[in-house]
A and B are shown apart, each in its own frame.
Chain A
C-alpha cells in the first residue's frame, strides 16, 4: 500500500485519507484547475506510524485525564506531546516513499532542491477550522529530503497544539480520533501574480474577467503597494477588451527564508505589461474554470510560475466566491418600457450612450472592498 497520493492522481477526494485541504487540491486538479503540483502523505501513514511506534500510548499517557482548564498543565503536556511526535524516527517504508515523491516533483520542476510548502491537512471535523490552526500548520520554502521528512512530523505535531488539545477536550472528542495527512506542494516562484474576478467589478458585467497583475508575488497587488496592470477579458470572445498598463515601481519576492522582501523594479520592466496577451487569456481561462467549478462568480488569486513550462505555468492559489456584486440583486436592462419592441427602440435611440461604441469602462478590482487571507498564499479553496 502506498502512502503517497499525487494531486494529479485519479483519486477520489477523500477526507478520511487526505484531510480537507489535500482532498480539495485533488478535486480541483481533477477539475482541470492548475493548482501548484505536489503530493499528499496520507493520513494512513500517520495512523500506522502512531500505532507501530508506540506514539499512541505515549499520547494517551500524556493527555488522558489532563485538566484543560489548567493552562499551565496544558502547556507542559502539549509541549511534551509535540516533542514526542517531532522526535519519533520515521520508518524506512515511509521515508523511501517521501524521498521518491520529492525527487519526482523536483524533476518536474527542473530543480533538484525544489522549494516546497509542507502543510497539514487534518482528516476530521474534530479540528478547529483552518483559521484557528494558525501558523504552525504550514511551512514554506522547505528544501531537501531531511527537511521535508522533518516537516512532515512537525505537521503531525500540529494536532497537539495547546489550543487543539483544549478544543478537542471541550468538544468531547478523543485525541486518538484525529489523524493528519500532509501536503507537499511546489512553492510558487511567481514572475507575475495578481487577482482575477470573473466579473467586471466596476459594473458587475458577468461577461468579463477582470485581472489585476504586477511583477513578483501577489502581495503587491493585494496590499495595494503598487498600482497593478489592469486587463478586462471578454469571456466569450477571449478578447482583451481593455488594458491599462501602470508604472510598477516595486515587486515582492520571497527570499529563501520564506520571508517577503520588497524590491525596486528596474526601469525597463516598470512600464512594460507584466502579462502577454496569451498569458492574460490563460489567467482568464483559469478564473473561468474556477467559476464553472464552483458555480458562482469567483475572486481568485493566481500566479505565473517562473519555473514551470509555458502552458502549465499559470497557477491557481486561491479561489473564493465574489461577494460584492453577487449579493446585489441582478439588474435587468428590461424595465416596463423596454419590453415592448417599439418603446425599446425609441428608448435606445434616445439613450444615445448605449450605442457610443467605444467603451470607457476600465475595471480596477482592487478598488472593490474585499478581504483576503494573505497569510497563506498557498492555500487553495
Chain B
C-alpha cells in the first residue's frame, strides 16, 4: 500500500479541457509558486458538497463557504489545534486541505485565547443564537429585494424628476456587487456557531467513547438529537398538505397531471382554492429546498419545480388513504431519547463521571439545534434565492446577446461578471454595439466544451500526504475523513467484497440496489430497494419511507444525509468511497447500519 496519494502536480487535464485553470480564480488552482506547500499537504475531494464538476461561478459559493469556515477557526475562536481548511480546484473538482497547528507549544499558547473567545459563545449561546435567525432572515430578505432588470431604452422620468442622479447601468453593477456581498455575509453567518457546535459535540462524543469504547456512534447522536428540527419541516409541510387534501376531498384531483395542470384545476372551487392557499403558505419558505446539496446552480429547487413536492404529496396521500398516520411521533421520539440517556447514564459508576456526562450532554444539546437547523436556512433557502437572482441576471445578458440561455452566466467566474456587465453598460451608455455580444457566445461554447471534458475525468479521492491524525472538527464530523477512510482510499477500489463506511444510521436491511447519480434519479426508486448514491440530500427524505436502506460514497456521521436517515429510521452506511463504482443496480445488498458495512450478496 502506498503511503501517499498522487501529487496534484502529476495530474493532467483530460483531453479537450486544456486551459481549464483560467476559468477559476488564480488563487484557487495549484501553482508552481506554492508547489512545496501544496505538494506536502493532504487534499481530499469534497464529495459531500460537490461530487461533480463545479462550474466557474458556482465556485464562488464553495470559496465563500471555505473562507468563512476557516476564518472562524483561525481568527475568531482560535481553535488551538486547527487552522482553516484550504481549498483548491483541480480539473473542475474541489479539493480541501485541513491545516493543523502542529507545534505543541503553539497549541498550548492558543488555549487561553480559545477559552476566552469560545467561552463567551458557549456561555451566551442561547442569547447569541436567538439573534442568528433574524440576522439570516434579514440577509435573505435583502437578497430577495435585489432585482436585475434589462437596461432600459431610456431612463424613466422619475429618475429626473426626483433628481436621483444615478442610472440603471450603475444600479445593475451595484446589485451584482450587493448579491456577492450578501452571499459572503450569508456564509459568514453560517459558521458563526457551527465550528463550536461541532467541537462541543465531538467533545461529548469523545467522552462517551472513553466511557464505552464500543458505543455505536448513532447512540451518541440520538442522545443529543432534537425533537423539533427545521430541516425536517419541508417534509412535515408535505405531510400536512397530503392530510389536508384528503380532509377537503380534493385528493383525487392531485392524482394525475403536471403541477401546473393540477393547480389550475384546483382553482375552480372553494375546497380546491383552500388547499392551494395552504400550499402557497407552506411553500414560502419551506419549498426553498434543494433536491441536491444546494451547492450547484443546477440543483433543482422545489419552489421552481413544483412537480417534485407534488410527487411526494401524492405518495403521502396514498398513505393517508391506506389509513397510515403521517404524524411524527414526537412524544415517542422524546421518550426514546430519554430512555437511551438514562440507561447509559446508569452504566456509569463514578459520580464525577456522571456529573461530567451531564455537563457535556447539556452543552451538546444546547449547541446541537444549530447544527441540525442551519442547513435549511443557508444551503436551501438562501442559496435558492441566490441561484434565482443569478438567473435573472443571466436573462439580462441573454437580452444583450452575450448568452443564449440564462444559465450561461454560471460559466463566468464571479470577477468576470462585473467586466461583462461593464461592457454591456458601456455599450448601452455610449450607444454602440458591445464587444460581449460578439465575444461571449463563442467563449461560452468553448467553456461548455471544457466542462464536458472535465466531466469525463475521475477525480482521485485524495492527493498529497495524509497526516497522522486529523484535528479539524469538520473534516471528521462532516466530511467523514478519518485515518480509516484514508487507509481505505490508499488501498484502492479494486478489492472486491465488503465496503466499509460510517455506521451512520442503525438497522440492517437487505434488498436490491438502485444506483442513482443525482436527484433526478430518485423517482426511479422502487419499494424495498436500497439507494446507492454519491451522496444524498435532506430533500430526498420523502422517499425514505419506501426504500430499505441508503449507502453513500461520501459523508460522515454528522453529514446532513446521516442526520436525516436517523430521523427517518432508515439504515445508512455513509462514506464508503466506492459504493457507486462497485455496486450495480439490481445487485442484492446487505446494509448493516450498525457495523457500517455493505455486502454485495451476489
Contacts and interface: CB of A to CB of B under 8 A. Distances in A.
- The reply to whether chain A is a binding partner of chain B is yes
A286 B556 CA distance: 34
A330 B348 CA distance: 10
B353 A240 contact: no
B200 A200 contact: no
A348 interface: yes
Contact of B213 (A341, A355, A358, A361): A361
Nearest to A340: B115
Nearest to B211: A333
A207 interface: yes
B343 to A, nearest CB: 4
Nearest to A362: B214
Contact of B215 (A207, A277, A345): A207
Nearest to A240: B594
A363 B500 CA distance: 19
A141 B156 CA distance: 106
Contacts of A349: 79-82, 199, 202, 471-473
Given A208-B212, A241-B214, A345 B207 contact: no
Nearest to A237: B219
B480 interface: yes
Contacts of B217: 357, 359
Given A352-B471, A355-B205, A239 B359 contact: no
A234 B216 contact: yes
Contacts of B508: 240, 277
Interface residues of B, number: 65
B312 interface: no
A205 interface: yes
Interface in A214-245: 232, 234-237, 239-243
Contact of B212 (A205, A345, A357, A363): A205
Contacts of B122: 341
Contacts of B473: 349
Given A344-B203, A346-B81, A358-B501, A207 B344 contact: yes
Contacts of A207: 211-212, 214-215, 344, 347
A295 to B, nearest CB: 12
Contacts of B212: 205-208
B483 A353 contact: yes
Nearest to B104: A350
B476 A355 contact: yes
Interface in B578-602: 594-596
Contact of A345 (B203, B343, B353, B500): B203
Given A234-B219, A353-B483, A357-B480, A346 B213 contact: no
Name, among A205, A239, A330, the residue most crowded by chain B CB atoms within 10 Å (CB to CB): A239
Name, among B209, B218, B343, B363, the residue most crowded by chain A CB atoms within 10 Å (CB to CB): B209
A34 to B, nearest CB: 22
Nearest to A238: B506
Interface in B52-82: 79-82
Interface in B547-596: 556-557, 575, 594-596
A346 B202 contact: no
B207 A350 contact: no
Given A334-B356, A350-B81, A358-B596, A237 B216 contact: yes
Contact of B207 (A205, A236, A240, A333): A333
Contacts of B557: 357
A200 to B, nearest CB: 5
A361 B473 CA distance: 23
Interface in B359-393: 359-360, 363
A356 B476 contact: yes
B349 interface: yes
Interface residues of A, number: 45
B119 interface: yes
A244 B473 CA distance: 32
Contacts of B127: none
A354 B356 contact: no
Interface in A258-306: 277
B577 to A, nearest CB: 12
A356 B115 contact: no
A371 interface: no
Interface in B75-116: 79-82, 107, 111, 114-115
Nearest to A208: B214
A339 B480 CA distance: 27
Contact of B114 (A346, A347, A348, A363): A346
Contact of B206 (A232, A343, A348): A348
B591 to A, nearest CB: 14
Contacts of B472: 349
A332 interface: yes
B82 A205 contact: no
A142 B595 CA distance: 45
Nearest to B352: A334
B80 A354 contact: no
B404 interface: no
Contacts of A72: none
Contacts of B470: 352
B350 interface: yes
B213 A205 contact: yes
A200 B213 contact: yes
Given A333-B210, A352-B471, A236 B483 contact: no
19 contacts: A200-B214, A203-B214, A207-B344, A234-B214, A235-B347, A239-B219, A240-B595, A242-B214, A242-B595, A341-B363, A342-B119, A346-B81, A347-B206, A350-B81, A350-B107, A352-B482, A355-B205, A357-B482, A357-B503
Q: 9 closest Cβ contacts across the A-B interface?
A: A333-B210, A352-B469, A207-B212, A354-B206, A348-B206, A236-B343, A356-B482, A239-B594, A342-B115
Given A349-B82, A356-B482, 19 more contacts: A205-B212, A208-B214, A234-B214, A236-B340, A236-B344, A237-B219, A330-B350, A332-B211, A339-B356, A341-B359, A342-B111, A342-B119, A346-B80, A346-B111, A352-B482, A355-B209, A357-B480, A357-B503, A363-B214
